[in-house]
A = this chain, B = another copy of it.
Amino acid sequence: MSQSAYAIGHQQPDTDTIISAIALARLKQATGSDVVAARAGELNPETEFVLERWDVASPTLLEDATDAELLLVDHNEYSQTVTGAREATISQVIDHHRIGDVTTGDPISFRAEPVGSTATILTRLYDEAGVDIDAETAGLLLSGLLSDTVVLRSPTTTDTDREVAERLAEIAGVDYEDYGKELLAQKSKLGEKSPREMVLGDFKEYDIGDDVLGIGQIETVEPETVLEQRDAVIEAMDEVVAERGYAVLLVLVTDLLEEESTAFIAGDHTEAVGDALGATFTDREAFLPGVMSRKKQVVPPVEDALK
Contacts and interface: CB of A to CB of B under 8 A. Distances in A.
B112 A107 contact: yes
A106 B114 contact: yes
Contact of A296 (B96, B106, B296): B106
Contact of A100 (B97, B103, B114, B295): B103
A269 interface: no
A192 to B, nearest CB: 34
Contacts of A111: 110-112
A96 B104 CA distance: 12
A305 to B, nearest CB: 11
A134 interface: no
Contact of A303 (B105, B109, B112, B114): B105
A117 to B, nearest CB: 11
A178 interface: no
Nearest to A113: B109
A185 interface: no
Interface string A72-104: 000000000000000000100100111111111
26 contacts: A90-B99, A97-B107, A98-B103, A98-B104, A98-B108, A99-B108, A99-B110, A101-B101, A101-B103, A105-B299, A105-B303, A106-B114, A106-B296, A107-B112, A107-B113, A107-B114, A107-B156, A107-B295, A107-B296, A108-B112, A108-B114, A109-B113, A109-B114, A110-B110, A110-B112, A111-B112
A104 B99 contact: yes
A142 to B, nearest CB: 21
Interface of A: 90, 93, 96-114, 156, 295-296, 299-300, 303-304
Nearest to A100: B103
Nearest first, the 4 closest Cβ-Cβ pairs linking A and B are A110-B112, A107-B114, A105-B300, A99-B104
Contact of A300 (B106, B299, B303): B106
Given A107-B112, A109-B112, 7 more contacts: A97-B107, A101-B103, A106-B296, A106-B300, A108-B114, A109-B114, A110-B111
Contacts of A300: 105-106
Contact of A98 (B101, B105, B112, B296): B105
A71 to B, nearest CB: 13
A100 B102 CA distance: 8
